[in-house]
Chains A and B, each alone.
Chain A
C-alpha cells in the first residue's frame, strides 16, 4: 500500500475517458460502481466542456454484486449504443470492476452490437492515467485503422501528416494544435488527421493515408505512433516544439520528412521571446535558480528553455511518470543535477526546499508547495486546475507558445527595475515585512458616524463627540466574536453594513440581534 494525499495522475480509466471525450462519435461503456461518475466533472468543470463526456457507467451497487453485474453491463452497453448511435464503442472496467472479473470484452463481443466494440485492459493497480490514455489510443488505432490503405506516390501532391496526441483535459492541447497547424500551413503540409482530439472512428480508419506522423505528446501518442511506424511505414517527428529552439528543430524535422523548404517557417518573426530575453530588463534573470517538475515532455522542454533561452540555472529537474524518465535523466545530466523521478509530492516538496530555488516551474501541486515556501511559481504541466484552461489563446508550442512562456514565467519574478528599487529602499519602513500592501486601506481614517443617527439618538445617549471617539467599542464582545465567524473575504462588508444599519436605526450598541437584523435587512 502506498500512502498518498495527492496524486499527479488519476487511474488509467480516466486516461481512457480523456481519449473518448476528445473524440467524436465514440462512446465508452465503463463497468464501474456508483460514484465513479465523479470523473465527469473534470471535463465539465476543469476543462469547462459544455457536453457530458461520452461515457456510460454501469454504476453497480452492493446489492448487485454476485448476481447480475454482467447483465447490468450488457444492458448499459445496449442502451448506450441505441441512444448515442456511436460509430464504435470502447469497453472496459474501472478498479472495482476489475476485481469482480466480469470481462467486459467478452460480454460486449457476445452481444453482437451493430458497431465495433474495442476492449480495453487497463490494470488499475499497476498503471495510471497517462498510460491509460496511451493504451486506449493505441487500441483504437490498432482496431480501427484500415490496413489496406495505401499512399499514392508523393510526386505532384503536398505531403500529408497525422497530428497525434491532443486529448481532452490536456494542458493547452487546444491552443498548441492551432500553432502546429500554422506551422504546417507555412510548410505546405496537409493535415490528414488530428487524433484523438476531434477525430471520429471513421476518420481513424484512414490514418494510414498520411506520409508521416507528428507526435505532439509522447505520453499519449508514442505507443500508437510506433505501431503506425511498423504497420504503415510512417516515419515520425518526435521533436516537441516547446521553446524557440525546439520549434526551429521541429520545423526542420517536419520539412525534411515533407521534402519542403523550411525557410519561410523558420523566418517567421512572430516570436518576440528572443528579443524580450535579450532586452536589458531581462539581465536580472541571469542565473536565477529554477526548479522544474512535471510530466517528462514539459519538464525537459522547460529545462532547455530555462537554460538556453532565458539564462536561468536549473537547480532541480524531475518528472512524475517513470515511463518517460530516461529523457529527463539525460536532460538533468546536461543541467548538472540529478533527476528526481517520483510520484510522491512530499518527496518533491523536500527536494524543492533543499534546492532553495528562486522560481519553481511545475504542476498545480508545485504551485501549492511554492506558495507555502514563499517562492514564485509558474505552471508548465498537468495536473492543472481550472485557471489553466484559460479562455484566451495560450499555447505552449510554437513561436506564440514561446511568447506565452516568457510572460508566464517572468511575471511571478520581481522584474529588474522593481528588484532594483526594492534593494535601494530596503531599509525604508514602507518596504519592511510588517508593512501591509500599499493598496490596503489599513491606515485610512475611520469613517465618521452618520450625523442623522446622532441627532435622532435618545436624550440619554452619549453626546456626539464622545460617541465619535467610542466608535470602536460599539460592538459587544459577543457580536464581535460572531462577526469573526464570517469568512474574512466578506467580513469587511458585513461589518460596514451592520454599522450603517445600526446608525440608521439609532442603535448605540451592536449586539447579536443587531448583527442579524442587519443581515436580514440587507438580504437581497
Chain B
C-alpha cells in the first residue's frame, strides 16, 4: 500500500457529510508543475536543529535540493544526498552496504547529529531499496547517540508539503506513550516559524491550558508524548498521514479552521479552548487584543485587495484556507482554487464558505489550467516559480507560492503580513512606469 492509497483511505473514512459533499470538483491529470516532497527538507532542517536529512537518490535529487535551497548555503548544511551510481543499480555492490558506508562516514564527520532521516526518493522507491530496514539496522548500531528514521519524499508519492507530512508521520511512532489516565494534553501539529509558535504557546498559557506539545519539536529528540488523552490540532492543512498516525496512537483531532486571519485564528483557538473546557468568557478575553490588532491591520489592506480576482494553482495544499481568508476577510473574489490534493475531512469547514461559483480543482493538467488562467485573466495568480515569470510576461500579475510556506503567516499578528504578500505584487504592478 503506498502513501496515496493511505491518503485516499483516510479521506474516505473521516469525511463527514458536509455541505460541500456534492460540490463539483474539477479533477485533472496531466503534467503537474509542482515540487516533490524532498523540498520539505529545506524548512524542516531549520526547524529541527539536531536532525540531519540524508536523501538516497540521484543527482537530480541533489540538484533539486540545491536549486530549492537557493542561496541558503550554510557552513555545514544539515542535509545531503547519497547519489546512487551505476554500480549501485547494476548490483555490483550491495546498496545496503554502500548506505552503511555513507551513513558511517557522515556520522563520523558530524558528531552533532542526533536524529538522522533517511529520505526515500523516486529512484530509491522504484528500485525498492528498503530504507526502513536500513534505518532499523543502522539505528541498532548507532543508538542511543543517533536515532535513525526514514520516510519518503519522492515525487511519485508526495507533492511539496506532503514531505513534511511524511516526515512527521515517521516521528509519531517514536513519541513516548502516555497512559490512558494521563491528564488531557494539547498537541499542535505542523511546523511553524518559532516566532509564531511562541505566540500560540503564550495564548494557550493565557487560556490556562497547562500542557501543550508541538510536533515537530525544535529538537527532534525532544518529542512530545502522545496517548488516548491527547487532543491534537492541525496548524497546517497538509498533514493527512500524520493525523492518521496520531489517531492510531489514540489521539483525537480538534476540528477547526486553519489559523489564518482573524476568523481562522479565532476559530482555531476557540476550538482548542472549548475542548479543554475553558470558560468562553476567558477565551474571548484572551483572544480579544490579538483579534483587534489583526482587524485594524487588515482594515488598512482591505481597500487594496477588495474585489480583486484571484486564482490559485496547486502547490502546497494551503490554497483552500488561504482562499477562505482572502475571500472572507479581504473581500477578494475567488476564480479558481487549485490544490494538489484535497483532504475533504480536514478542509470540510474551510470549504463551507466558498460560493458555488468558485471553481475548485484537484490535481493538474498544467497546460489546460494555464488556458483557463488566460481566459479568466484574474488580477493575481498564485503559482510556482516555473510559471510566475512566464505569466508576468503575458501581462498577468502573479504571487509566487513558495514564499507562503517559508514566511510566518499564521496567527493574529501575521494576518496583515499574509495579506501584504498578496497586496504587494498588485501595488508594484501599479507603481512601475516602465
Chain A positions near chain B (C-beta within 8 angstroms): 1-7, 9-11, 13-14, 33-42, 44-45, 48-52, 56-65, 76, 79, 83, 94-96, 99-100, 123-126, 128, 368, 372, 385, 482, 485-486, 512-513, 516-517, 519-521, 523-524
Contact: A5 with B79, CB < 8 Å?
Answer: yes
Cα–Cα distance between A521 and B293 once the two chains are bound (Å) = 8
- CB pair A368–B73 under 8 Å, yes or no, is yes
- Name B278-329 residues within 8 Å CB distance of A: 289-290, 293-294, 296-298, 300-301
Q: How far is the CB of A479 from chain B (nearest CB, A)?
A: 12
Chain A hits for B82, CB < 8 A? 1-4
B68 / chain A contacts, CB cutoff of 8 Å = 38
Contact, CB under 8 Å: A523 / B390: no
B112 at the interface (CB under 8 A from A): no
> Which of B30-38, B174-182, B239-247, B330-338 sits within the interface?
B30-38
The one of B4, B60, B101 that contacts A61, using a Cβ cutoff of 8 Å: B4
In-complex Cβ contact of A10 among B59, B85, B296, B417 (8 A): B59
A59 CB, min distance to chain B CBs, angstroms: 5
Task: Please provide the 5 A-B residue pairs with the shortest distance between their CB atoms, ordered closest to farther.
Answer: A35-B155, A35-B36, A50-B393, A40-B386, A523-B297
Cross-chain pairs A/B with CB under 8 angstroms, 9 sampled: A34-B34, A35-B34, A42-B67, A50-B392, A62-B157, A63-B2, A95-B123, A96-B155, A372-B75
Contacts of A10 in B (CB 8 A): 59-60, 63
Contact B155 A33 (CB under 8 A): yes
Return B422 CB to nearest CB of chain A, in Å.
12
Report Cα–Cα, A372/B202, bound state, in Å: 38
* B66 within 8 A of partner (CB): yes
| Distance of B12 from chain A, by nearest CB (Å) | 16
Interface contact A1-B59, CB-CB below 8 Å: no
Pick the contact of B423: A14, A95, A524 (CB < 8 A).
A524
CB B148 to nearest CB in A, in angstroms, measures: 16
Range of interface residues on chain B? 35 or more
Q: Which residues of B contact A51 (CB under 8 A)?
A: 390, 393
Whose C-beta in chain A lies nearest to the C-beta of B153? A35
Is the beta-carbon distance between A11 and B60 smaller than 8 angstroms? yes
Nearest chain B CB to A250 CB, angstrom units: 33
What is the bound-complex CA distance between A476 and B430, given in angstroms? 41
Closest to A94 in B: B60
Q: Does B15 contact A (CB under 8 A)?
A: no
- Considering the chains assembled together, what is the distance between the CA atoms of A38 and B3 in angstroms? 22
Chain B hits for A13, CB < 8 A? 60
Q: Is B49 an interface position by the 8 A CB rule?
A: no
CA of A49 to CA of B102 in the docked complex: distance in angstroms?
38
Q: Contact check, A482 vs B293: say whether CB atoms are below 8 A apart.
A: no
Residue of B nearest to A515 (CB): B413
Q: Are A125 and B154 in contact (CB under 8 A)?
A: no
Tell me which of B73, B79, B84, B296 has the highest count of chain A C-beta atoms within 10 A of its own C-beta.
Answer: B73
Interface status of B198 (Cβ within 8 A of chain A): yes
The CA of A385 and the CA of B99, in the complex, are separated in Å by: 32
User: Is B431 part of the binding interface, using a Cβ–Cβ cutoff of 8 Å?
Assistant: no
CA distance A34 to B152 in the complex (A): 14
* Residues A523 and B301 in contact, CB atoms below 8 Å apart: yes
Q: How far is the CA of A79 from the CA of B31 in the complex (A)?
A: 11
Most buried by B among A7, A60, A62: A62
B127: Cβ under 8 A from any A Cβ: yes
Q: How far is the CA of A52 from the CA of B106 in the complex (A)?
A: 38
Are B85's CB and A521's CB within 8 A?
Answer: no
Contact A125/B60 with A41-B67, A44-B386, A372-B75 known, Cβ cut-off 8 Å: no
Name B116-152 residues within 8 Å CB distance of A.
Answer: 122-123, 125-127
Partner of A35, one of B38, B102, B392, B417: B38
What chain A residues lie within 8 Å of B66 (beta carbons)?
A: 5-7
Q: Which residues of chain B from 410 to 426 have any CB-CB distance to chain A below 8 Å in the complex?
A: 413, 416-417, 420, 423
Assess whether A34 is in contact with B155, with CB atoms less than 8 Å apart. Answer: yes
CA–CA, A440 and B194, complex, Å:
29
Beta-carbon contact of B293 and A125 below 8 Å: no
B159 proximity list for chain A (CB < 8 A): 34-35
Give the docked Cα–Cα distance between A96 and B38 (Å). 15
Identify the closest chain B residue to A14 (Cβ): B63
B105 on the A face (CB < 8 A): yes
Q: What CA separation (Å) do A295 and B423 show in the bound complex?
A: 43
Report the Cα distance A485→B413, complex, angstroms: 14
Does the CB pair B31–A50 fall under 8 Å? no
A523 and B300 contact, CB distance less than 8 A: yes
B89 within 8 A of A: yes
Question: Does B156 interact with chain A (Cβ within 8 Å)?
Answer: yes
Q: With A10-B63, A58-B31 in contact, is A520–B420 under 8 Å at CB?
A: no
Q: How far is the CA of A126 from the CA of B84 in the complex (A)?
A: 10
CA distance A6 to B417 in the complex (A): 33
Q: Is the beta-carbon distance between B194 and A485 smaller than 8 angstroms?
A: yes
Interface centre among B5, B31, B35, B301, by most A CB within 10 Å? B31
Q: Does A41 lie within 8 Å of B385, measured CB to CB? A: yes
Measured between alpha carbons, how far is A485 from B38 in the docked complex, in Å? 27
Check B157 against A1 for contact (C-beta < 8 Å). Answer: no
A38's contact among B30, B64, B84, B388, by CB below 8 Å, is which?
B64
Those of B62-89 within 8 Å (CB) of chain A: 62-64, 66-68, 70-71, 73, 75, 77, 79-86, 88-89
Does A128 lie within 8 Å of B59, measured CB to CB?
yes
Q: Which residues of chain B come closer than 8 Å to A517, judged between CB atoms?
A: 293
User: In the complex, A149 Cα to B223 Cα: how many Å?
Assistant: 72
Q: Report which of A56, A58, A125, A482 forms a contact with B84, defined as CB distance below 8 A.
A: A125
Closest chain B CB from A516 CB (angstroms): 5
Q: Which residues of A contact B125 (CB under 8 A)?
A: 62
Extra 20 A-B pairs, beta carbons < 8 Å, given A41-B385, A64-B156: A1-B88, A2-B85, A14-B63, A35-B37, A39-B67, A40-B387, A56-B31, A59-B31, A60-B156, A62-B4, A63-B5, A65-B126, A95-B122, A99-B89, A385-B71, A520-B294, A523-B297, A523-B298, A523-B416, A524-B423
Query: Counting CB contacts under 8 A, is B275 at the interface?
Result: no
Contact with A along B184-223 (1 / 0, CB 8 A): 0000000000110010001000000000000000000000
